[in-house]
């Protein structure tokens, strides 16, 4: 079962259960999938990696919303966004642990021959290709800085 099919089934379940919050999150993600289909590429099935990227984008926007609403003091909106975040993260693959990320970063540093923060972009490119959506770019950046001692 593809991720898109799983979202459709979960949407039906949420409708039956009258779970408005879950239904709203799934509809938002499915809307993004439909936009992807309508781009004119002639694709009828959106691959799982594209769906994961769409969900990851939605999660990123929710995290930014939580940050902004907390800063402004709107805890009610921040709480609603946190609930949406939990529901959306169900559709993402498991995040990489630091123990899994550190060896990839060390290998990329050796491969790029980087010893200072100036070459961080080259290392980021190598690492991001290897982790492919299993971790956030910010975490990769922090791991590289830690490995460089900067």
The residue extents of the domains of the chain are 3-89, 98-148
Contact 88, 29 (CB under 8 A): yes
Distance CA 68, CA 64 (A): 6
Q: Assess whether the region 3-89 and the region 98-148 belong to the same CATH fold.
A: no
Averaged pLDDT for residues 70-97:
91
109-132 residue pLDDT tens? 888 887 777 878 888 888 888 887
- Does domain 98-148 bear CATH number 1.10.10? yes
The model carries a pTM of 0.75
Q: Which two tokens stand for residue 135?
A: 């971790």
- Which DSSP string do the residues of 99-119 spell out, in sequence order? HHHHHHHHHHHHHHT--SGGG
Q: What is the pLDDT of residue 150?
A: 57
CATH 1.10.1510.10 fits 3-89, yes or no: yes
């Amino acid at each position: 079962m593809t991720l898109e099919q799983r979202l459709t089934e979960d949407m039906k379940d949420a409708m039956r259960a009258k779970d408005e919050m879950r239904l709203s999150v799934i509809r938002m993600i499915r809307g993004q999938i439909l936009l992807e289909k309508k781009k004119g590429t002639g694709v009828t099935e959106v691959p799982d990696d594209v769906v994961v990227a769409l969900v990851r984008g939605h999660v990123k926007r929710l995290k930014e919303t939580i940050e902004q609403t907390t800063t402004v003091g709107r805890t009610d909106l921040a709480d609603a966004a946190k609930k949406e975040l939990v529901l959306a993260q169900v559709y993402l693959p498991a995040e990489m642990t630091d123990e899994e990320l550190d060896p990839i970063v060390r290998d990329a540093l050796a491969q790029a021959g980087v010893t200072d923060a100036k070459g961080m972009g080259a290392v980021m490119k190598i690492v991001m290709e290897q982790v492919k959506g299993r971790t956030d770019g910010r975490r990769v950046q922090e791991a590289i800085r830690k490995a460089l001692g900067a």
